[in-house]
A and B are shown apart, each in its own frame.
Chain A
Amino acid sequence: MATDAIIEVSEGKLIEGINNLFGELLKKGLVDALLIPHELPSGANVVQTLITSPEKIKSINPLAPVLPINSARIVSAMTKVASSAKKIGVVLRPCELRALIELVKLKQASLENLVLIGMDCFGTYSVCDYGKFAKEGPSPTQRFLDNAKSGKDDPLLREACQICEYSVPINADLTIGLIGMDLNKGFLLHAATKEGERILEGLGVKAGSIQGRQEAIDKLVAQRIKRRDEVFARTIEQTHGLDKLLPVFAPCINCHNCRDACPICYCKECFFDSPTFELEADKYLGRASKRGALRMPTDTLFFHLTRLNHMGVSCVGCGLCQEACPNDVPVFDIFRLVGSRLQKVFDYVPGRSLEEELPLTTFKANELEEVGH
Chain B
Amino acid sequence: MDSEFEPSIVGFFCNWCTSTAADLAGTTRLEYPPNIRPIRVMCSGMVDPVYILRALLEGADAVILGGCEPGDCHYVSGNYKARRRMTALKTVLDTLGLENDRVWVRWIGASEAPKFARTMNEITAEIKKKGPSPLKECWST
Q: Mark B60-82, 1 if CB is under 8 A from A, else 0.
A: 00000101001100000100110
A22 to B136, CA, bound (A): 59
Tell me which of B84, B93, B107 contacts A346 (CB under 8 A).
Answer: B84
A306 to B49, CA, bound (A): 7
Tell yes or no: B40 within 8 A of A by CB. Answer: no
Report A-chain residues with C-beta under 8 Å of the C-beta of B83.
Answer: 363, 367-368, 371-372
Contact B59 A290 (CB under 8 A): yes
Report B-chain residues with C-beta under 8 Å of the C-beta of A359.
Answer: 84, 88
Contact B84 A312 (CB under 8 A): no
Report A-chain residues with C-beta under 8 Å of the C-beta of B24.
Answer: none
Q: Mark B69-109, 1 if CB is under 8 A from A, else 0.
A: 01100000100110111111111111111100000111100
Given contacts A312-B88, A368-B83, contact A292 B139 (CB under 8 A): yes
Tell yes or no: A83 within 8 A of B by CB. Answer: no
Report B-chain residues with C-beta under 8 Å of the C-beta of A301.
Answer: 57, 141
Report A-chain residues with C-beta under 8 Å of the C-beta of B88.
Answer: 309, 312-313, 342, 345-346, 359-360
Contact B50 A306 (CB under 8 A): yes
CB of B4, distance to nearest CB on chain A (Å): 19
A300 to B57, CA, bound (A): 10
- Chain A at the B interface: mostly helix, strand, loop or mixed? helix
Report B-chain residues with C-beta under 8 Å of the C-beta of A313.
Answer: 88
Tell yes or no: B135 within 8 A of A by CB. Answer: yes
Most chain B beta-carbon contacts within 10 A, residue among A293, A337, A338: A338
Contact B53 A306 (CB under 8 A): yes
Contact A363 B80 (CB under 8 A): yes
Tell yes or no: B34 within 8 A of A by CB. Answer: no
A309 to B88, CA, bound (A): 7
Contact B97 A241 (CB under 8 A): yes
Report B-chain residues with C-beta under 8 Å of the C-beta of A242.
Answer: 97-98, 134-135, 138
Report A-chain residues with C-beta under 8 Å of the C-beta of B84.
Answer: 346, 359-360, 362-363, 368
Report B-chain residues with C-beta under 8 Å of the C-beta of A345.
Answer: 87-88, 91
A291 to B135, CA, bound (A): 11
Q: Mark A308-340, 1 if CB is under 8 A from B, else 0.
A: 111011000000000000000000001001100
A290 to B8, CA, bound (A): 14
Given contacts A239-B97, A295-B140, A365-B80, contact A373 B92 (CB under 8 A): no
Tell yes or no: B54 within 8 A of A by CB. Answer: yes
CB of B32, distance to nearest CB on chain A (Å): 18
Contact A305 B92 (CB under 8 A): yes
Interface residues on A, range: 35 or more
Contact A239 B92 (CB under 8 A): no
CB of A296, distance to nearest CB on chain B (Å): 10
Contact B141 A295 (CB under 8 A): yes
Contact A291 B91 (CB under 8 A): no
CB of B94, distance to nearest CB on chain A (Å): 8
Contact B87 A371 (CB under 8 A): yes
Tell me which of A302, A341, A361 contacts B95 (CB under 8 A).
Answer: A341
Report B-chain residues with C-beta under 8 Å of the C-beta of A372.
Answer: 65, 67, 83, 86, 104-107
Tell yes or no: A216 within 8 A of B by CB. Answer: no
Report B-chain residues with C-beta under 8 Å of the C-beta of A364.
Answer: 80
A51 to B118, CA, bound (A): 67
Tell yes or no: B137 within 8 A of A by CB. Answer: yes
CB of B130, distance to nearest CB on chain A (Å): 14
Report A-chain residues with C-beta under 8 Å of the C-beta of B86.
Answer: 371-372
Report B-chain residues with C-beta under 8 Å of the C-beta of A294.
Answer: 139
Contact A245 B98 (CB under 8 A): yes
Report B-chain residues with C-beta under 8 Å of the C-beta of A310.
Answer: 49
Residue of B nearest to A249 (CB): B141
A237 to B123, CA, bound (A): 31
Contact B54 A363 (CB under 8 A): no
Chain A 207-257 residues near chain B, CB threshold 8 A: 236, 239-242, 244-246, 249-250
A20 to B140, CA, bound (A): 56
CB of B2, distance to nearest CB on chain A (Å): 19
A183 to B95, CA, bound (A): 41
A306 to B139, CA, bound (A): 18
Contact B50 A360 (CB under 8 A): no
CB of B100, distance to nearest CB on chain A (Å): 10
CB of B128, distance to nearest CB on chain A (Å): 20
Given contacts A309-B92, A360-B81, A360-B85, contact A302 B141 (CB under 8 A): yes
Given contacts A345-B87, A345-B88, A360-B81, contact A246 B140 (CB under 8 A): yes
